[in-house]
Amino acid sequence: MINRVDVPSRPRRRGLAELSVVLLLAGVTVADYLAWLGWDQRRDVHPDGHETGPYQAWQVAGLVLVLAVVGVVAVWLDHAGAALLALPVALSAACGVDWAPDDGSGLWAVGVVMVFTATLVVTAVTVAIVALVRRLTLSR
C-alpha cells in the first residue's frame, strides 16, 4: 500500500501566503491610523470661536507617508494585489470605527467613502508605477 501525503498545491499555498500578506498589511494600516490619528479626538477652538481639527496636517502627512512606504515595499515584494485590497479597506474601516460614534448626522459615512476612494486611487497609481519600475529594474 502506498502512503500518500496531501501536499497543498502551489496555487493554494500562494493564496494562503497572499491572504497572510493582506492581513499583515491591514494590521499595519490600522496601527498606522491609530498611531497618527486615532489618539486625537479633540477639536481645537480658536479665540474667535471657530473650530478646526481634530487632526493637524502633520498627522495626516505622517499617516500618508507610512502608508506610501508600506505600499511600495509590498508591491516591490510582489504583493500588489494585497496592497490594493488591504490599504484602502483597512484605512476606511479604521476611519469608520473611529468617526461613527461621534457623528449623529451620518456625515462620517461620506467621509469614509471619500477616504476609501482617495486611498484606492492613490494606491492603484502607486502600484502601477512601482510594478513598472520593478519590472524594468529586474529585467536588466
Q: Residues 32-85: pLDDT tens digits?
A: 999 999 887 777 777 887 877 688 899 999 999 999 999 999 999 999 999 999
Q: Judge contact between 82 and 21, C-beta under 8 A.
A: yes
3-state SS, residue 52: strand
Q: Residues 76-118: pLDDT tens digits?
A: 999 999 999 999 999 999 999 999 888 788 899 999 999 999 9
Give the residue extent of every domain in the chain: 10-138
Say what the alpha-carbon torsion angle 90, 94, 95, 99 is, to the nearest 10 degrees. 160
Q: Is the dihedral of CA 87, 89, 92, 95 positive or negative?
A: negative
Contacts 24+ apart (CB under 8 A), 77-80: 78/134, 79/18, 79/21, 79/25, 80/127, 80/130, 80/131
Q: Alpha-carbon distance 18 to 13, whole Å?
A: 8
Q: Judge contact between 102 and 41, C-beta under 8 A.
A: yes
